[in-house]
A and B are shown apart, each in its own frame.
Chain A
Amino acid sequence: DAKTTQPTSMDCAEGRAANLPCNHSTISGNEYVYWYRQIHSQGPQYIIHGLKNNETNEMASLIITEDRKSSTLILPHATLRDTAVYYCIVRLTGFQKLVFGTGTRLLVSP
């Protein structure tokens, strides 16, 4: 699986949009981009995933660049409960193993 690069930490004010970047310059054509988050002392929570097109669900939006070498996870209105470590992972289609990097520690403050 391709490796990803994320900033170690980010801050965001409550109510503002949180934009979390991820670089995956060696991604191959059949690899998806997945985002998970882990709140302290809990198992990771699935957020969203995509292949080429931008995706949106009730939790977040995923913007993937046209060359697929980077992506951005957007939390439109961050709350204090969104404070967590966010992991960007690329993974082969149909192959379920997820390999976690170091992630971005997002701190949402009042």
Chain B
Amino acid sequence: GAVVSQHPSWVICKSGTSVKIECRSLDFQATTMFWYRQFPKQSLMLMATSNEGSKATYEQGVEKDKFLINHASLTLSTLTVTSAHPEDSSFYICSAGEGVEKLFFGSGTQLSVL
């Protein structure tokens, strides 16, 4: 199946710093990518839809100034957690669709904010 690469796999940062997470579709082009977050023992929560060449669409309750999304090309979307705080510590996962039917997921990024 199609491959979605996510980097880094894990990151530890100090409170107040910003962290960038990359999501790449390796063998297909994706005009739309999705960002999720997942807390321990909970399900995935959709944060935002990333659209190539336009602004991202955020789900209700997700701060767009806190979680900056850039989708500059058909194979790359980035999520920047700005001024990270301990409560932002979570597992962040991106996904992209090959065509309209299948959605594939990255391996996730574990963010720990000290």
Which residues does A use to contact B, with CB under 8 Å?
Answer: 32, 36, 38, 41-46, 49, 87, 93-103
Contact = CB atoms under 8 A, between A and B. Distances in A.
Contacts of B46: 97-100
Interface stretch (B11-19, B64-72, B76-84, B98-106): B98-106
A42 B97 contact: no
Interface size class of B (residues with CB under 8 A): 20 to 34
10 contacts: A38-B44, A41-B91, A41-B110, A43-B108, A94-B100, A96-B34, A98-B46, A98-B103, A99-B46, A103-B43
Nearest to B100: A94
Contacts of A42: 107-108
Interface in B1-46: 1, 4, 6, 32, 34, 36, 43-46
